[in-house]
């Protein structure tokens, strides 16, 4: 014997359950465009049926249904895809920064162009060649001075741009560290919150979505491993723990730099920044320093023509003599300036500070900059009565200088790391530019690939968790009808009881 009002109860449960479902549909629709949102589903289960009443066993039909219950609201999500996505996302972070830095480097190098270092270099040699035609000419000397200044300027400027780029990268690392720390502490507090709610037996769907979204963001900044523990997400970077339960362990720039060194930090934006700064930009700076220093002081072999008088001697050479000198400076010292009595040339290039020539300190000797007569062009003197005078029309040195573009310089291999030990200055420079091109091309390709792969995983995730409005609308229709039918059922039963209550016991009325 069931209760009279049993069916009202059943109808009521149905109304509530459909309402919950409709509400969840509404929630899904509202969040159709929310980042990181996964669609939610209400699990409807038939509620516990009733045994027929009786001391032993009633003969009434048993297991009377009692309607429906919404037992849980869960999000539809696959954690395997999350892991895949985070694994890809770190590469997106790393390569996007690297390809970005390398393309900045390309614009700093500014080749092919008519204003890059290469072209200034050509103009420098051309100025010497023009001077060799009129060695006694003041205009020619001034032009050599101007092109030399342009050459040192472009080295200085490029070097300055590279240091600026390094500083930018360092401050970007700082920004990223702050961002990561904020994300990590938020994840830690979400861990606590989720644990509290799930302890009560509910699913903290929306909080979990938030936590996953933050973890996704973190995975772009550094490489992370996520494992699920009872106290929430445990996030590690290599063997460093970043988040465990309600605790997060702050990152620092220095810490990350040492993690980069020992390989714990292997990907992500910060990795890309440190790699760009300490490998690409640094390497390029080193090569530029080597280039400047070699141009000034690298060993070259020159042929001093017969008739030249070497500094410190008075007898002209009788035959062409091969000599090894130290770069432009060494060559310049073999000649004589316009001053009389004959004075040997000084260093052509010097450094403005520090202990040697780097791209940043590369400069034209200030004495030459202020007095173009200090540019040596002649290699011949005549001596009469113990005093030697310069033959100003001799252009041997200017000729040798103008031909340096085709002379092989010895490079200090340990400083460059690009494997060139002896080549012309312009070959060294083009190999440097070529290598940069290769690196940049590679980084762009890697970036595009990693984005394509991350997008592909994101697509799969969307396919599982994304909200489809069509789907939600058809669900809405379904639940609305169910709701209406439950209401109809209630009405039916209401009329039934009406009959029973008001329509019975009125026989013979």
> At its nearest, how many Å lie between another protein and the CB of residue 297?
22
> At its nearest, how many Å lie between another protein and the CB of residue 392?
6
Quick one: which of 65, 356, 366, 393 contacts another protein (CB under 8 A)?
393
Residues 298-327 that bind another protein (CB under 8 A): 307
Positive or negative: CA dihedral 448, 454, 460, 462: negative
Quick one: which of 430, 446, 449, 453 contacts another protein (CB under 8 A)?
430
> At its nearest, how many Å lie between another protein and the CB of residue 408?
13
CB 440 within 8 A of CB 106: yes
DSSP state, 276?
I
Please give the Cα distance from 100 to 280 (Å, whole number).
Answer: 12
> At its nearest, how many Å lie between another protein and the CB of residue 437?
3
Of the ranges 50-58, 125-133, 263-271, 276-284, which one interacts with another protein (CB under 8 A)?
125-133
> At its nearest, how many Å lie between another protein and the CB of residue 28?
11
Site string for another protein, 446-465 (x = CB under 8 A): ---------x--xx--xxx-
Asked if residue 434 binds another protein (CB under 8 A), the reply is yes
Six token digits for residue 410: 């010895």
Asked if residue 438 binds another protein (CB under 8 A), the reply is yes
Please give the Cα distance from 191 to 473 (Å, whole number).
Answer: 34
**Residue placing its CB nearer to another protein in the complex, 46 or 464:** 464
Site string for another protein, 133-172 (x = CB under 8 A): xx-x------------------------------------
CB 411 within 8 A of CB 298: yes
Region for 229 from its dihedrals, namely left if φ exceeds 0, alpha if ψ lies in -120 to 50, beta otherwise: beta
**Residue placing its CB nearer to another protein in the complex, 157 or 392:** 392
Residue 190, φ and ψ in degrees, nearest 5: -65, -40
Tell me the C-alpha to C-alpha distance, in Å, between residue 75 and each of 134, 204, 478, 480. 86, 9, 20, 22
> At its nearest, how many Å lie between another protein and the CB of residue 43?
19
**Residue placing its CB nearer to another protein in the complex, 90 or 380:** 380
Asked if residue 122 binds another protein (CB under 8 A), the reply is yes
Residues 47-106 that bind another protein (CB under 8 A): 102-103, 106
Six token digits for residue 57: 């066993």
Going by C-beta distance under 8 Å and a sequence separation of 6 or more, which residues neighbour residue 349? 148, 152, 292, 295, 296, 328, 329, 357, 362, 363, 364, 365
Asked if residue 468 binds another protein (CB under 8 A), the reply is yes
> At its nearest, how many Å lie between another protein and the CB of residue 395?
7
Tell me how many residues contact another protein (CB under 8 A). Answer: 64
- Please write down the HEC assignment for all residues of 72-89: EEEECCCHHHHHHHHHHH
Asked if residue 336 binds another protein (CB under 8 A), the reply is no
**Residue placing its CB nearer to another protein in the complex, 134 or 206:** 134
Please give the Cα distance from 146 to 104 (Å, whole number).
Answer: 28
Residues 410-429 that bind another protein (CB under 8 A): 426-427, 429
DSSP state, 234?
E
**Residue placing its CB nearer to another protein in the complex, 274 or 467:** 467
Residue 469: CB atoms within 10 A of its CB come to 11
Nearest residue to 43 (alpha-carbon basis) of 81, 12, 17, 14: 17
Please give the Cα distance from 341 to 311 (Å, whole number).
Answer: 12
Instruction: Summarize as ranges the residues that interact with another protein (CB under 8 A).
Output: 32-33, 102-103, 106-107, 109, 111-112, 118-119, 121-123, 125-126, 129-130, 132-134, 136, 307, 380, 391-396, 399, 402-403, 405-406, 426-427, 429-431, 433-438, 440-441, 444, 455, 458-459, 462-464, 466-471, 473-474, 477
């Amino acid at each position: 014997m069931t209760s009279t009002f049993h069916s009202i109860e059943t109808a009521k449960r149905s109304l509530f359950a459909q309402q919950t479902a409709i509400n969840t549909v509404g929630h899904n629709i509202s969040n159709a465009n929310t980042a990181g949102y996964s669609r939610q589903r209400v699990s409807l289960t038939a509620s516990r049926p009733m045994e027929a009443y009786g001391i032993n066993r009633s003969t009434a039909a048993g297991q009377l249904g009692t309607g429906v219950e919404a037992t849980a609201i869960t999000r539809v999500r696959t954690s395997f895809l999350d892991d895949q996505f985070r694994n890809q996302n770190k590469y997106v972070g790393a390569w996007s920064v690297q390809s970005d830095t390398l393309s900045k480097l390309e614009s700093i190098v500014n080749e092919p162009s008519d204003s890059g270092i290469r072209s200034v270099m050509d103009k420098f040699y051309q100025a010497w060649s023009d001077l060799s035609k009129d060695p006694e000419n003041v205009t020619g000397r001034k032009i050599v001075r101007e092109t030399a200044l342009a050459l040192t300027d472009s080295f200085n400027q490029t070097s300055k741009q590279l240091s600026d780029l390094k500083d930018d990268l360092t401050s970007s690392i700082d920004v990223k560290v702050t961002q990561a720390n904020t994300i990590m502490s938020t994840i830690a507090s979400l861990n606590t919150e989720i644990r509290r709610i799930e302890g009560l037996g509910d699913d903290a769907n929306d909080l979990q979505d938030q936590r996953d979204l933050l973890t996704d963001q973190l995975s772009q900044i550094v490489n992370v491993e996520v494992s699920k523990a009872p106290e929430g997400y445990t996030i590690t970077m290599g063997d460093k723990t970043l988040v465990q339960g309600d605790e997060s362990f702050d990152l620092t720039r220095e810490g990350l730099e040492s993690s980069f060194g020992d390989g714990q930090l292997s990907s992500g934006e910060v990795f890309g920044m440190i790699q760009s700064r300490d490998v690409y930009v640094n390497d390029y700076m080193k090569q530029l320093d080597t280039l400047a220093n070699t141009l000034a002081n690298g060993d070259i072999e020159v042929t001093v023509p017969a008739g030249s008088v070497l500094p410190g001697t008075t007898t002209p050479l009788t035959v062409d003599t091969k000599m090894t000198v130290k770069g432009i400076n060494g060559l310049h010292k073999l000649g004589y300036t316009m001053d009389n009595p004959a004075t040997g040339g000084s260093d052509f290039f010097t450094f403005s500070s520090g202990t040697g020539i780097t791209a940043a300190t590369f400069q034209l000797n200030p004495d030459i900059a202020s007095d173009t007569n200090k540019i040596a062009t002649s290699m011949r003197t005549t001596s009469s009565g113990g005093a030697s005078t310069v033959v100003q029309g001799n252009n041997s040195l200017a000729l040798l200088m103008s031909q340096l573009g085709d002379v092989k310089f010895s490079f200090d291999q340990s400083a460059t790391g690009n494997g060139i030990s002896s080549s012309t200055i312009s070959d060294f420079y083009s190999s440097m530019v070529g290598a940069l091109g290769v690196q940049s091309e590679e980084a762009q390709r890697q970036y595009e690939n990693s984005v394509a792969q991350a997008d592909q995983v994101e697509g799969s995730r969307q396919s599982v968790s994304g909200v489809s409005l069509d789907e939600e609308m058809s669900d809405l229709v379904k639940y609305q009808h169910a709701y209406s039918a439950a209401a109809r059922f209630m009405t039916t039963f209401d009329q039934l009881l009406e009959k029973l209550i008001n329509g019975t016991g009125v026989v013979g009325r």
